Every structure is written in structure tokens, then in C-alpha cells.
């Protein structure tokens, strides 16, 4: 087994899935948990969202081995009503709990039209957009969000107050790909700051807040001595608190500094992340076929918008990701070097071959 750096690897979706499944099985997960996690991670890679794809696997394997993520449990609904539920993830893989919770939300929305499912005792769950898409795939509007360890400042603060608290939604669009947005409430993700630091590039003044509470352009200060800036100041901060409210406050999950750091924290301890899922049963609320027709008209209108020089077309949220997905299904996924390195580490730790092992 060779350790490869700074090289990309092209793998087929099915080979990448097989690798993830093997590594997760080797870590003791059930077949169901291995599949749920694999599908979420590989879907993110196929969208080109490599920060939230199989790159996460190595960290999950570490927590599985140390006991912070449990293999011998199933998430369960601990309380519910006609239009809502609270799910206890019991420290299972975040993808297992996330998919279970969104499926619960879908079932309730199909029964009564709209639903909310709050989650406690979850883990890092990867790309929020994956869960939103689970709903859109069945013709519902899906919304997914979660809380996380504080890394984002509030207006006027010297330190981080909220997590990057991502929110995603997916909108079914008839025979077209769902409209799909997945964003963090910080101006940029921490990963972009790391990349700028590694490359010695300057960063814009609205990315980081230094430990004096003022904007800083010194990327190396993050995360020890700087926090991410909330998008549009009080707007991003305020949205972070709405997401915290639905993911943490209402569900009874850990909040802000009580959440475990899934990457740098004690891997034997649960992180107790919260999450929230909303589903809207389009077919119940809008006349049959009318919704898809209206989505199509809105999409066509947006695509026909005149653009700046050099811009071919105004894109719908998710359009780039679905183009990546189509290419991935046909030609495989070109994994960037950081993912390749991470998967080689995962393969080593799990004692399974990388997807490209046989080719070397």
C-alpha cells in the first residue's frame, strides 16, 4: 500500500461505495449503518462537495474505534405528535440518525402535510443537503440543519459564539433536478481559511474576526486566535440562533460549547450534536402538477436573466452540483489530493485496500 500525496485519483461511484462499506464494516457497523453512511458520503463527493464526502470517513472510523460513535444502537423516536418528533440518536453515526430523522419527517408530512423532527445525541452528519435531498427525491420540500461547536463570532464579540450551523433545502422540480442549497452561516467555511493559509494567500477582511473582536486578514490566526465572521454580520448571527433553536433548544440536544468537537475532541466521548429536519408535502398543499409547472417557470425565468460579461448563465442553487453528479455517474469522481490522502489513512486504519489499490 503506497501513500500518495498531491495526486488526484479517479474512482467510479460503485468502487468508492464498496470501499466505504468495507471500511465501515471493518469498524464493526451493521450493514444498515454502513450503507446509510456510505450513501451520504459518496453522494456529497458526487456533487463535488469534497469537504463533506468520504474525506470524513477517517475521522468517523477513529470515533467508531474509540467508542464516541456507537455501533450497537439504533436512533429512536422518544416523543412525537402528528406533525413532529424528537429523535434520540444514541450516539450512532450522524448519517444513520440524520436519515432516520428525515425519513420520520417525510412519513409525518405525508400524513399531515408538514412536519418537524428535532434530533439530540447525534454526531457530525456530513452534508445537510443530503437529507434535504432525501425529501425532494420523494416529491417533498426538505429542509435540514444542525448545530456545531462554536467557531463563528457574533457582532462585537472577541470569540466564537455559534457554530457554522449549516442549513440546506431541496425543492422537487418535476422531471428536473431538485433545486438544492447547502450553506453555512459564516461568510466562508473554515476550510477556505486553511487553504488560503497553506497557499500564503491574503484573505478578504470579512472572513475572520481576531481575538480583539476586529476583522483580521491574517489567515494563520484561525482557529486558535480568530473566529469566522458571520455572513452579513447580525443576519448570519441571527440565523445561526434560529438553527440552534430548532436543532438544539427544542430537541434537547447539546448546544454551543457543550457540543463535543468531532475532529479534535476526545474520540471516546459522544459529541451530542443536535439537528432539525422539516418536510413539506407538496402534493397535499398545491394542486397536482401545478407546483412542478411553477418551479419550471421560475427556473426558466431565472435562467433567462441577462448576465455580466464572462458569466454564461445565472445558475439555480445546486445546478453545478447536479452537473458534477451526472459526470460522476458517467466518468467516475476525480478525488482531489486531500481526499486521496484521507482515504489512504482510512484504508490503513481499517485494514482494507483503497479503491485504486489494484491499479497501482
Which residues within the stretch 95-114 sit at the binding site for its own copies (CB under 8 A)?
109, 111-114
Pairing of strands 333-335, 9-11: antiparallel
Query: Apex CA 112: angle with CA 108 and CA 117, to 5°?
Result: 35
Work out whether the CA dihedral 282, 287, 293, 299 comes out positive or negative. Answer: negative
The verdict on 20 binding its own copies (CB under 8 A) reads: no
Binds its own copies (CB under 8 A): choice among 14, 28, 82, 337: 82
CB of 284 to its own copies, least distance (A): 6
- On the question of a cis peptide bond just before residue 305, with omega within 30 degrees of 0, the verdict is no
Nearer to its own copies, 72 or 224 (CB): 224
How many residues belong to the site for its own copies (CB under 8 A)? 75
Chain residues 115-154 in contact with its own copies, contact rule CB under 8 A: 115-116, 118, 141, 143, 154
Interface stretch with its own copies, choices 19-27, 218-226, 277-285, 336-344 (CB under 8 A) = 277-285
Sheet containing 208-210, strands listed edge to edge, beginning at the edge strand earlier in sequence: 160-162, 152-153, 226-228, 208-210, 215-216
Strand, helix or coil at 222?
Answer: coil
The three cell numbers of residue 212 are 480583539
Binds its own copies (CB under 8 A): choice among 61, 87, 149, 171: 171
CB of 156 to its own copies, least distance (A): 4
Closest among 106, 85, 119, 9 to 54, alpha carbons compared? 9
Interface stretch with its own copies, choices 24-32, 43-51, 259-267, 283-291 (CB under 8 A) = 283-291
Beta bridge partners of 85: 80, 117
- Other Cβ atoms within 10 Å of 285 Cβ, number: 12
Chain residues 296-355 in contact with its own copies, contact rule CB under 8 A: 298, 301-302, 305-309, 311, 313-317
Nearer to its own copies, 114 or 195 (CB): 114
Q: Which helix (H) or strand (E) holds 153?
A: strand 152-153
Nearer to its own copies, 11 or 160 (CB): 160
CB of 333 to its own copies, least distance (A): 23
- In the shown chain, the binding pattern of residues 204 to 243 toward its own copies, with x for contact by CB under 8 A and - for none, equals --------xxx----------------xx-xxxxxx-xx-
The three cell numbers of residue 244 are 440552534
Binds its own copies (CB under 8 A): choice among 26, 39, 51, 155: 155
79-88 burial by CB neighbour count: b if 16+ within 10 A, else e? eeeebbbbbb
Chain residues 238-267 in contact with its own copies, contact rule CB under 8 A: 238-239, 241-242, 244-246, 249-250, 252, 255-257
Amino acid at each position: 500500500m503506497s501513500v500518495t500525496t498531491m495526486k488526484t485519483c479517479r474512482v467510479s461511484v460503485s468502487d468508492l461505495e464498496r470501499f466505504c462499506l468495507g471500511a465501515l464494516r471493518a469498524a464493526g457497523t451493521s450493514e444498515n449503518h454502513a450503507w446509510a453512511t456510505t450513501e451520504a458520503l459518496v453522494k456529497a463527493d458526487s456533487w463535488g462537495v469534497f469537504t463533506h464526502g468520504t474525506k470524513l470517513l477517517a475521522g468517523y472510523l477513529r470515533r467508531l474505534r474509540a467508542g464516541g460513535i456507537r455501533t450497537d444502537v439504533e436512533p429512536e423516536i422518544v416523543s412525537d405528535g402528528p406533525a413532529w418528533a424528537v429523535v434520540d440518536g444514541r450516539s450512532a453515526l450522524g448519517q444513520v440518525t440524520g436519515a432516520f430523522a428525515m425519513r420520520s419527517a417525510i412519513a409525518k408530512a405525508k400524513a399531515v402535510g408538514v412536519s418537524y423532527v428535532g434530533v439530540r445525541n447525534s454526531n457530525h452528519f456530513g452534508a445537510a443537503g443530503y437529507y434535504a435531498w432525501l425529501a425532494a427525491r420523494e416529491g417533498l420540500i426538505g429542509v435540514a440543519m444542525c448545530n456545531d461547536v462554536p467557531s463563528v463570532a457574533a457582532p462585537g464579540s472577541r470569540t466564537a459564539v455559534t457554530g457554522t450551523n449549516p442549513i440546506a433545502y431541496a425543492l422537487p422540480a418535476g422531471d428536473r433536478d431538485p433545486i438544492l442549497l447547502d450553506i453555512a452561516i459564516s461568510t466562508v467555511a473554515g476550510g477556505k481559511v486553511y487553504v488560503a493559509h497553506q497557499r500564503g494567500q491574503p484573505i478578504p477582511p470579512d472572513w475572520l474576526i481576531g481575538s480583539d473582536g476586529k476583522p483580521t486578514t491574517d489567515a494563520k490566526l484561525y482557529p486558535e486566535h480568530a473566529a469566522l465572521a458571520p455572513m452579513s454580520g447580525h443576519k448570519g448571527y441571527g440565523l445561526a440562533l434560529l438553527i440552534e433553536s430548532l436543532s438544539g433548544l427544542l430537541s434537547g440536544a447539546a448546544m454551543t460549547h457543550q457540543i463535543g468537537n468531532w475532529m479534535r475532541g476526545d474520540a471516546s466521548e459522544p459529541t451530542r450534536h443536535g439537528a432539525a429536519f422539516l418536510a413539506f408535502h407538496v402534493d397535499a398543499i398545491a394542486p397536482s402538477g401545478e407546483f412542478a409547472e411553477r418551479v419550471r417557470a421560475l427556473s426558466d425565468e431565472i435562467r433567462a436573466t441577462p448576465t455580466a460579461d464572462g458569466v454564461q448563465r445565472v445558475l439555480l442553487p445546486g445546478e453545478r452540483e447536479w452537473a458534477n453528479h451526472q459526470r460522476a455517474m458517467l466518468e467516475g469522481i476525480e478525488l482531489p489530493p486531500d481526499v486521496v490522502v484521507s482515504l489512504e489513512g482510512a484504508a490503513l486504519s481499517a485494514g482494507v485496500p483503497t479503491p485504486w489499490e489494484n491499479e497501482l
